[in-house]
């Protein structure tokens, strides 16, 4: 799990939407809009979503697993 180790070392166990956008090479606003669509990839990314209060985070381990499969 080299991707997971690298992402965890840089960002920690949870990614914000801005950090996830940076990892994916997209703008944060474009990613927000894209995550509202219905596709297999979006469902997998949204399955790693955690809501803490009003903030949205994504599990780094889950995102690394998705990137490994891509």
pLDDT in tens, 3-61: 999 999 999 999 999 999 999 999 999 999 999 999 999 999 999 999 999 999 999 99
**pLDDT recorded at residue 70:** 74
Every domain of the chain and the residues it spans: 2-69
Cα torsion through 37, 11, 23, 54, rounded to 10? 20
Note the pTM of the prediction, 2 decimals: 0.91
Strands 55-59 and 49-52: antiparallel
Question: pLDDT category, 1, cuts 50, 70, 90?
Answer: low
Report how far Cα 47 is from the mean position of its chain's Cα atoms: 10
With beta carbons less than 8 A apart as the criterion, state whether 45 and 58 touch: yes
Class of domain 2-69: mainly alpha
């Amino acid at each position: 799990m080299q991707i997971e180790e690298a992402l965890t070392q840089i960002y920690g166990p949870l990614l914000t939407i801005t950090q996830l956008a940076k990892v994916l090479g997209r703008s944060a606003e474009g990613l927000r809009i894209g995550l509202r669509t219905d596709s297999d990839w979006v469902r997998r990314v949204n399955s790693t979503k955690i809501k803490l209060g009003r903030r949205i985070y994504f599990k780094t381990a889950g995102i690394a697993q998705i990137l490994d499969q891509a």
